[in-house]
Amino acid sequence: VDLLTFNQFAVLLWKNFTLKRRHFFNLILEVLSVLVFPTMILVFSTIINIKAVGPYNFISQPINTLPPFFINPGDWELIYVPSNINLVNDIAENVKRNLNISVRLEIKIFCKTY
List the domain boundaries for the chain: 3-47, 68-107
What is the pLDDT at residue 114? 46
What is the pLDDT at residue 14? 93
Measured over the CA atoms of residue 37, residue 42, residue 47 and residue 51, the dihedral's sign is positive
Q: What's the rounded Cα separation, in Å, for the pair 107 and 89?
A: 8
- Evaluate whether 91 touches 67 at the Cβ level (below 8 Å): no
Torsion of CA 26, 29, 31, 35, to 10 degrees: -170
pLDDT in tens, 20-40: 888 888 888 988 999 999 999
